Chains A and B, each alone.
Chain A
């Protein structure tokens, strides 16, 4: 059975090894913050960090993350950058339905960790894998810039 670290805690998963991490998180561990949107890595709703890298959990079998460290939306607030991202989202009231925002926050946090001061082109490039059907893109852009400022100060 794959053993991995999820939000700093070692977990042994019982589900079949080909099960995508998304469904193991949601159905086995009842960690439902990570969302299902497409099942094909096309919408980004399921984004988690695997060893710090933004990863689509819907197409990542749990066997592929054995021994690795997974961070989900439930724990991203414990990260200094993640916390600033959450605060910026709240300050600008980014969400509408909010369903995609777990993935948006995870993608934005990963972006700011690799590029602390992204311009519009960098934001567009990093965030275009995450669909928001409500259309909060402009606020997401603004919130990323706001979070970038907060992280730098």
Chain B
């Protein structure tokens, strides 16, 4: 998810409407034949309102000359312009191109694009958008290149184009039995016009060889298990120096003074320099601090340990988590705050209800904690800054470095490495600015700045902390008639506007304002909360607390009404219908068109029914075991999960089985969808069981994986079963995949604990809350 505010982000460049024309320039590869780079052919901005990929900064392009190069030896090079962070995008997007092109996957090489949105279209890899936004452009790319090869072959043979067809990595003339390989055709094809978009002949689903099959192994899989894959932390340049930074422990803190005498005595330490802080808002700017530059990482770390720094902690030193929680709970207990949805008369309906329920849920701050911490390398040669970084949003990094170094953006090159995990942390490129700043302090010499795990946990852009309070009323039949949800959490907007106190539309649209329940009286209130640290997006973002509260609460109601949790969830969702998100006062809908992407309660019901069926919902279980269910709409996809737990006499929990179902529209690479959902299950269990970042006097209390614990192998469920609900066809709009799996896990887990033990968990993490039987 992204919260770009116009004043701080790059203004969208005027979108050009360059006609498709013949061009021959390479995309900075040597020896390429068909490959040609142009500023992307972007959509003209005719429509008054744009959605989806059209609405993203720098839009999109489907120009084959930007994405495909075919070498004389037949090698097909395909550009991946999105960042690989475990979702498999370097496999899945090029696989789409290769399929439409007719390429043999074994002869495909992937080329990672540098950060250059004017050329490639939007590259900000978050919001579960890569396949959703680029499936069609990548199909067009492949189809256009294939048609150019066919035209070249037809011309070579002197036959009509209609007489030729593409086989696998070759073009055939069936009548004469002749064939020409892609490599043989590349040069001639490169001299032809790129077909117009409306002339493209796309494959039919029956013709797909890779799309929808899930049989394509990861392009980086073997490199990843042999130490050859290059992540940001692995970048090695000639004469490269290594730096670590002592950053202010409290957001907004400043260096009063420092003594580097002892640090400079450490062998290998070359220089100690300051990095300036920035006035609020935090944006993606570095936090400032004192950097130690050395010939190797260990020396830099020893040097940092030897620094004597006096900090002025500033006003955020008052941030203490228990007190903040109490303040948020107070705010959640009184009527008020921004009223963000109000249908019917909820207060009257509550008064008149046959029975009412209320509950309050708490979720602490979390840190993304990718296994590869933030890291970046920069050098400056002849006024040109070149960076290598594991970054989700390379264009944002490029623009920010340009601003800090007072260079034009075209004097900044961002090479995107593999990301050792991202989860939202690496869409904030503060660490890239540090590297560039330190390289400049060394007259342009290459400097790699490495964050330790302590740095990562202390200086994240944290998942917000939240209190969710829900009150509901039912009639005499147990049918819900009133739904009042007060949601309190510091907003991500505070990172861009430090006066922001209430949630912005993208946060409200993550499951709280657009709750798709069949209830007549609905009111959502959003009391204020002031952010006292940097708040940022974490996988699934506000869907995590919203789904936890809502899906726990529905199961709580079911239990109190003596109803089956699955049946009651379906009753609350109501009959299949298509809801306009705007009518639910969600103005955002993940950036997608409300007409193309209505909230379809039929699809939500179907994932619930699917997962319940697959998990044998309601099966008889021995004492101490129980099942819990939860469902959620996020990133324009639908997910539901059933978690089965066992809690022993000592209150020790184990998870025999998790089932999760997703309807994300067409499943382009089912194998990676499965892996993303398996990962979401583990991350959901991890945050529910263990995840918590707390602040004391403004500073994070957890230092490493002892304090901030993550689920390990022994905590993983014995079995995870992923069920992909098939789409009718490839015309169904695509939903997201990377994030939607996470929100239902924590509530399904806590609902299962309740079923097993009768104990209701309303505050995460579960940690040691489970009571012995």
- Which of A's residues lie within 8 Å of B, judged by CB? 15-16, 19-20, 23-24, 26-28, 30-40, 42-43, 45, 72-74, 76-77, 85-86, 89-90, 93-102, 105, 120, 123-125, 127-141
Contact = CB atoms under 8 A, between A and B. Distances in A.
Given A96-B676, A135-B679, A137-B682, 9 more contacts: A19-B296, A40-B704, A43-B371, A90-B221, A93-B218, A93-B671, A98-B223, A134-B371, A135-B681
B255 to A, nearest CB: 24
B195 interface: no
Contact of B714 (A34, A42, A124): A124
Interface in B679-722: 679-683, 686, 704-706, 710-714, 716-720
- Which of A33, A45, A102 is packed against the most chain B CB atoms within 10 Å? A33
A128 B712 contact: yes
Given A90-B222, A128-B712, A98 B296 contact: no
B370 interface: yes
Contact of B370 (A38, A94, A133): A133
B657 to A, nearest CB: 11
B221 A93 contact: yes
B713 A123 contact: yes
10 contacts: A24-B298, A27-B298, A38-B453, A42-B704, A95-B225, A98-B224, A131-B705, A132-B682, A133-B683, A135-B680
Please provide the 7 A-B residue pairs with the shortest distance between their CB atoms, ordered closest to farther: A33-B227, A135-B682, A99-B420, A98-B224, A96-B86, A97-B86, A73-B227
B660 to A, nearest CB: 12
Contacts of B679: 96, 134-136
Interface stretch (B132-140, B228-236, B463-471, B509-517): B228-236
B225 A86 contact: yes
A76 B770 CA distance: 42
Nearest to B218: A93
A19 B714 CA distance: 32
B370 A32 contact: no
B369 interface: yes
B678 A36 contact: no
B225 A37 contact: no
B705 A20 contact: no
B745 to A, nearest CB: 10
Interface string B434-455: 0000000000000000101100
Contacts of A125: 714
A98 B234 CA distance: 13
Given A35-B233, A96-B87, A136-B678, A89 B221 contact: yes
B228 A128 contact: no
Nearest to A107: B713
A122 to B, nearest CB: 11
A73 to B, nearest CB: 4
B713 A141 contact: yes
A120 B450 CA distance: 36
A33 B228 contact: yes
B297 interface: yes
Contacts of B227: 31-34, 72-74, 102
A97 B221 contact: no
A27 B242 contact: yes
Contacts of A27: 242, 296-298
Interface in B282-310: 296-299
A43 to B, nearest CB: 6
Contacts of A37: 371-372, 453
Contacts of B450: 36
Contacts of A140: 713
Contacts of B683: 133, 135
A11 B88 CA distance: 37
A150 B675 CA distance: 23
Report which residue of B218, B242, B675, B706 has the largest number of chain A beta carbons within 10 angstroms of its beta carbon.
Answer: B675
Contacts of B223: 98
B418 interface: yes
Given A96-B86, A96-B87, A138 B720 contact: yes
A42 B228 CA distance: 23
B220 A98 contact: yes
Contacts of A131: 371, 705, 710, 712
Contacts of A31: 227
A97 B420 contact: yes
Interface string B661-684: 000000000010001101111110
B226 interface: yes
Contacts of B682: 132, 134-138
Interface residues of B, number: 66
Contacts of B453: 37-40, 43
Interface string B327-361: 00000000000000000000000000000000000
B419 interface: yes
B450 to A, nearest CB: 7
Given A36-B450, A132-B371, A96 B88 contact: yes
Contacts of A141: 713, 716
B188 to A, nearest CB: 37
A116 to B, nearest CB: 19
Contacts of A96: 86-88, 675-676, 679
Contacts of B452: 39
A35 B236 CA distance: 14
Contacts of B226: 33, 73-74, 76-77, 86
A35 B296 contact: no
A33 B231 CA distance: 10
A35 B242 contact: no
B717 A23 contact: no
A27 B242 CA distance: 9
A141 B712 CA distance: 12
B236 A101 contact: no
Contacts of B706: 40, 42
Contacts of A98: 86, 220-221, 223-225, 229, 418, 420
B520 to A, nearest CB: 40
A2 to B, nearest CB: 14
Nearest to B226: A77
Given A39-B453, A42-B706, A105 B225 contact: yes
A45 B222 contact: no
A22 B588 CA distance: 46
Contacts of B710: 131, 133
B162 to A, nearest CB: 40
B421 interface: yes
Nearest to B231: A99
A108 to B, nearest CB: 10
Contacts of A32: 227, 230, 233-234, 236
Contacts of A94: 221, 225
B675 A124 contact: no
A77 to B, nearest CB: 6
Given A33-B226, A39-B453, A137 B713 contact: yes
A99 to B, nearest CB: 3
A133 B369 contact: yes
A16 B224 contact: no
B371 A97 contact: yes
Contact of A99 (B267, B268, B372): B372
Contacts of B233: 32, 35-36
Nearest to A143: B225
A32 to B, nearest CB: 4
A85 to B, nearest CB: 8
